Amino acid sequence: MSKKDLGLLILILVVGAVVAIINPRFLLPINLANTSNLIGLFGILAIGQAFVIITGGIELSVGSVVALLGVLFVDFIATRGMAWPVALPLILVLGGIIGLAHGWLITRLKLQPFVVTLCGLLIYRGVARFYTADGTAGFAFGQNFPELEFLTAGRSYGVPNSFIALIVIAIVMWVVLHRSVFGRYLYAIGKNEEAAKYSGIRTGRVVMAAYVICGVLTALSAIYFAMYTRSISPASHGQFYELYAIAAAVLGGFSLRGGEGSLIGVILGTVLLQELQNLVNLLGIPSSLNFAVMGGVILIGVLVDQQWGVYRERRLMLEATRKGAAGAAAE
Amino acid sequence: MNYSDASIGASTIAPFLSLEGVRKTYPGVVALDGFSLEVRPGEVIGLVGENGAGKSTLMKILGGVTTPDTGTITVDGVAHDGLTVEASIGSGIAFVHQELNLFENLDVAANIFFGREPLRAGPLRLVDRTRLRTLAAPLLKRVGANFSANTPVSALSLAQQQMVEIAKALSIEARLVILDEPTSSLPLAETDKLLDVIKALKAGGISVIFISHRLHEVERVADRVVVLRDGMLAGTLPKNAINHDQMVKLMIGRMLKEREKAAESGRPPGAVALSAKAVRTSAYPDRPVDLGVRRGEILGLAGLVGSGRTELARVLFGIEKSLGGSLQLDGKDLVLGSAADAVANGIFLVPEDRKLTGILLDLSIAQNISLPNLPAHARRSLVSARAEAVTAEKQKRNLGIKAPSVATRTGTLSGGNQQKVVLAKWLAMSPKVMILDEPTRGIDIGAKAEIYGLMRALADAGVAVLMISSDMEEVIGVSDRIAVMHEGQISGILDKEQFSQENVLLLAVGKQPK
């Protein structure tokens, strides 16, 4: 765990302690379970986003994808009678295809990630609304999928299974990002794509793979969100979720220029964001201020981080000067 | 300490600039140690020294970016303890840097007067474009420019852009122009133009400090050569004593036989390893190129900048798609879809722009070296830091990379050591064909010699080495054969006995050698 991650963890604990002191309900098992469920859902989304951001890209369409794939999933299993073990992988594949399409447009046709995914944001939202004729997709009364519901919305030993899923995914993705050949390529491309290319890395394929990973993880979280809300109105479902994911990555130390950030960071970023949401609810802050609180905290976080970097550099310089002076005196 | 007489051949004219006992220390380093220098009006001083000898510190002091710890700087009769940026500009000191500071999207006149544009009357403060051009024209004439004031900078060659920089210096009525490595990226013929500009400045009574690693150019223009070594004045050479060997001796404190060593070819070259047949590149899409590089030889590729050499190298390395023709490796047809294909076939490129394309400055030495061959440093696709360190340690030892450890960030290394890291990542694999594009640009003389030695060792081991270089001494000193490019085509190939600066130049401009 880097110093940056440790700082974030301490911030999370301090904020948690303060909230718990003001409102002890923060520590109630039901509140913790709810919050960790949300951390699970948004965390999966944020990990996908992180893989794209590390390459210096951005994926703005995830909120709309959550809506579109959520609508499709519910429609497949609730109205079309598809078995969920068939529908689930199908949705994941669809998410992968969306990611592949984005990656292809970005790497082969050299379009800017912001533009491609902004168009995606608009297109998928429109398609989702058209698909249900702007109606709500949901389950009929009494319709049950016990195993699926257990896996997505259920709990084991009081811990939401969505949170457990996040932990499992996080561990796997940590290995991929920080230990694998592919992960090294991602960092290299994020730092300097040209130099990576000149080192014989097939940068196009690697970047495309990052978008596919993002697409699949987004699809997975779309299923979780669908099973969590159980009814989806495609006009608003998943709105701004891309921004939650990006915010979590930025809080977690990712640079939008690429090449920087850790998996632990993005998870901690998600945790902090959800903690803030919870704080707004528990401290009786008007929920209309929700976004303002989040924006404010992110801004302060990024500022402190940057100023800390400046301070550390200055201290290093001073230390070197002192050493130099001592060395000169010794001569 | 050797304060050798700076006033050799001096006239009675007062110096424009004089430095007395200037000392500057940085944490742990003495960058300049009691340095003294006098520059007279109309005098061209050649300033040479290895990287880290203190040249940049001296420039920073003269530019007012930093102040010396002790010593005095006298400019035009006024003594200062240290200059500020404003004082430096105000007293007529102008810089032309190695990296040009021009706005490519603006035209020449706009660049010359940037921030000081003549304005039209009226509250809108519109730029007076007509006056801008009429003001720029005489300046361009003084530097011998053959382009007009409204040419966009993006359409100019590097040497022409440097002329714009010098015109800019003239526009602020500079009395001392400091040229920092102005020719390091210039090809042969363009360099001549720049040296002519220096002579024109001199004739106009303007002093010049010419900093260069290319000693034969210093030889040609300097009235006096000042050699820096380890922050001290290693010596000055008056006009009649300026020669290559003397400068090198003062720079490194010993004689160096670097080129002779590199030139000793071990054995006769073998069969053609990599050849291009009627390949067409983006530089000259209608001109087919034929070139073959043999195993065991160093083939020098000379020519003017823009003659299509870099584009050819990019095609041979698979970065750029060939617009036609074919490539053969060991006699078999080769199709390169990407640099990854070239690497898989043992064709490696040390690119021209080290910091942009050669290495990743943020990665460590070990990570840079393992990058092209990462799967070999991994078990079940998980990278083994130990395997990386083992490879890197070996290369660090073999190439003499100077760094605290292989975990050091490459961004903190000197240019020469960075270039060694680029070489190391390829040497750690087994090269068949090694293409080096300007491999010693901006590298000090000691590291240069080592890189020449490495290239020769590669050739002796049977690797086909293709070296692109704009440095005439280097091309002639290092190559076994020289191919010269002119406007997208090979205008001729010289064998060892035909080597001469004149022949290379003639071919470079499309004429027949003698």
> Is the pLDDT reported for residue B259 higher than 60?
no
Residue B32's alpha-carbon distances to A211, B53, B98, B390, in angstroms, are: 52, 8, 21, 38
pLDDT confidence of residue A97: 98
- Choose among A175, A182, A198: nearest Cβ to B351: A198
What CATH number is associated with residue A246?
1.10.3470
pLDDT band at B104 (very low <50, low <70, confident <90, very high): confident
Question: B305-339: string of b/e by CB count within 10 Å (b at 16+)?
Answer: bbbbbbbbbbbbbbbbebeeeebebbeeebebebb
pLDDT band at A91 (very low <50, low <70, confident <90, very high): very high
- Choose among B360, B361, B372: nearest Cβ to A200: B372
User: How far from chain centre, in Å, is Cα B163?
Assistant: 17
Choose the weakest-confidence range: A11-20, A207-216, A308-317: A308-317
pLDDT digits (tens, 9 = 90+) for B152-183: 998 887 778 888 888 888 888 889 999 887 77
What domain range includes position B385?
355-429
Choose the weakest-confidence range: A166-170, B211-215, B249-253, B454-458: B249-253
Q: What is the total residue count of chain B?
A: 514
Tell the residue number behind the tokens 């006995």, with chain if given. B497
Q: What is the DSSP string of B437-477?
A: ESTTTT--HHHHHHHHHHHHHHHHTT-EEEEE---HHHHHH
pLDDT band at A305 (very low <50, low <70, confident <90, very high): confident
Domain check: are B281 and B388 in the same one? no
> Is the pLDDT reported for residue A321 higher than 80?
no
Burial of B238 (0-12, 13-18, 19+ CB in 10 A): middle
Domain check: are A197 and A329 in the same one? no
- Interatomic CA distance for residues A72 and A75, integer angstroms: 5
pLDDT confidence of residue B64: 87
Domain check: are A255 and A237 in the same one? yes
Cβ–Cβ of A196/B382 closer than 8 Å? Answer: no
Are B336 and B504 spatial neighbours (Cβ–Cβ below 8 Å)? no
Domain check: are B367 and B512 in the same one? no
pLDDT digits (tens, 9 = 90+) for B286-321: 889 999 999 999 999 998 777 889 899 999 999 998
pLDDT band at B187 (very low <50, low <70, confident <90, very high): low
> Is the pLDDT reported for residue B353 higher than 90?
no
Number of domains in chain B: 2
Domain check: are B415 and B442 in the same one? no
Task: Give A320→chain B minimum CA distance, Å.
Answer: 6
- Choose among B344, B357, B361: nearest Cβ to A198: B357
Segment B211-233 mean pLDDT: 87
Domain check: are A280 and A293 in the same one? no
pLDDT confidence of residue B9: 44
Cβ–Cβ of A195/B26 closer than 8 Å? Answer: no
Radius of gyration in angstroms for the set of CA atoms belonging to chain A, rounded to a whole number: 22
Domain check: are A317 and A265 in the same one? no
Domain check: are A292 and A272 in the same one? no
pLDDT confidence of residue B1: 38
pLDDT band at A58 (very low <50, low <70, confident <90, very high): very high
- Interatomic CA distance for residues A162 and B391, integer angstroms: 43
Query: Does B462 reside within a domain?
Result: yes
> Which residues pair with residue A156 across a beta bridge?
A159
Chain A positions in Cβ-Cβ contact with residue B358 (cut-off 8 Å): 195, 198
pLDDT confidence of residue B195: 87
Are A245 and A89 spatial neighbours (Cβ–Cβ below 8 Å)? no
- Choose among B26, B351, B360: nearest Cβ to A192: B360
Give me B508's structure tokens. Answer: 């470079």
- Percentage helix, strand, coil for chain A under 3-state DSSP, each rounded to 5: 80, 5, 20
Of B429, B447, B464, the residue at which a domain comes to its end is B429
pLDDT confidence of residue A320: 65
B360 touches chain A (CB under 8 A): yes
Segment B92-116 mean pLDDT: 86
Domain check: are B457 and B475 in the same one? yes
Query: Does B16 reside within a domain?
Result: no
Segment B249-275 mean pLDDT: 66
Q: What angle do CA A72, A77, A80 make, to 5 degrees?
A: 85
Query: Does B447 reside within a domain?
Result: yes
Contacts of B84 (CB under 8 A, 6+ apart): B64
Task: Give A193→chain B minimum CA distance, Å.
Answer: 9
> Which residues pair with residue B95 across a beta bridge?
B178
Query: Does B334 reside within a domain?
Result: yes
The chain-wide mean pLDDT, for chain B, equals 86
Tell the residue number behind the tokens 């660090």, with chain if given. B396
Cβ–Cβ of A191/B363 closer than 8 Å? Answer: yes
> Is the pLDDT reported for residue B129 higher than 90?
no
Task: Give B425→chain A minimum CA distance, Å.
Answer: 9
Give me B126's structure tokens. Answer: 């519109």
pLDDT digits (tens, 9 = 90+) for A174-196: 999 999 999 999 999 999 999 99
pLDDT confidence of residue B28: 65
More confident residue, B455 or B472: B455
Give me B423's structure tokens. Answer: 């070489």
**Helices A241-251/A62-74 angle, 10° precision:** 130
The winner for highest mean pLDDT among A82-96, B63-77, B294-308 is: A82-96
Q: Is A283 left (phi over 0), alpha (psi -120 to 50) or beta?
A: alpha
- Choose among B357, B378, B381: nearest Cβ to A195: B357
> Is the pLDDT reported for residue B223 higher than 90?
yes
Number of domains in chain A: 2
> Which residues pair with residue B39 across a beta bridge?
B17
Domain check: are B339 and B445 in the same one? yes
pLDDT confidence of residue B7: 42
Residue A106's alpha-carbon distances to A56, A57, A186, A194, A211, in angstroms, are: 12, 9, 15, 15, 10
Domain check: are A81 and A168 in the same one? yes
Query: Does B254 reside within a domain?
Result: no
Amino acid making up residue A132:
T
Question: B288-300: string of b/e by CB count within 10 Å (b at 16+)?
Answer: bbebbbbbbbbbb
Domain check: are B439 and B512 in the same one? yes
Q: What is the total residue count of chain A?
A: 331
Domain check: are B360 and B336 in the same one? no
Domain check: are A46 and A156 in the same one? yes
Residue B501's alpha-carbon distances to A248, B41, B473, in angstroms, are: 61, 33, 8
What domain range includes position A204?
3-285
Query: Does B257 reside within a domain?
Result: no
What CATH number is associated with residue B288?
3.40.50.300
Chain A positions in Cβ-Cβ contact with residue B360 (cut-off 8 Å): 188, 191-192, 195-196, 199
Cβ–Cβ of A201/B358 closer than 8 Å? Answer: no
pLDDT confidence of residue B267: 64
Q: What is the DSSP string of B148-191?
A: -TTSBGGGS-HHHHHHHHHHHHHHTT-SEEEEESTTTT--HHHH
* Backbone dihedral angles phi then psi of residue B37, each to the nearest 5 degrees: -160, 145
Segment B453-473 mean pLDDT: 90
> Is the pLDDT reported for residue B6 higher than 60?
no
A83 touches chain B (CB under 8 A): no
- Interatomic CA distance for residues A5 and A9, integer angstroms: 6
Task: Give B374→chain A minimum CA distance, Å.
Answer: 6
Segment B182-210 mean pLDDT: 81
pLDDT band at A330 (very low <50, low <70, confident <90, very high): very low
Domain check: are B382 and B407 in the same one? yes
Domain check: are B406 and B365 in the same one? yes
Domain check: are B364 and B438 in the same one? no
Domain check: are A81 and A102 in the same one? yes
Are B293 and B299 spatial neighbours (Cβ–Cβ below 8 Å)? yes
Chain B positions in Cβ-Cβ contact with residue A197 (cut-off 8 Å): 319, 338-339, 357
Burial of B366 (0-12, 13-18, 19+ CB in 10 A): buried
Domain check: are A331 and A251 in the same one? no
Are B383 and A176 spatial neighbours (Cβ–Cβ below 8 Å)? no
Task: Give A200→chain B minimum CA distance, Å.
Answer: 4
Query: Does B45 reside within a domain?
Result: no
Query: Does B232 reside within a domain?
Result: no
Domain check: are A297 and A226 in the same one? no
> Which residues pair with residue B233 across a beta bridge?
B228
**CB count, 10 Å around CB of B149?**
23
Domain check: are B308 and B412 in the same one? no
pLDDT confidence of residue B291: 93
Share above pLDDT 70 across residues of chain B, in percent, rounded to a whole number: 92
pLDDT confidence of residue B3: 41
Domain check: are B438 and B392 in the same one? no
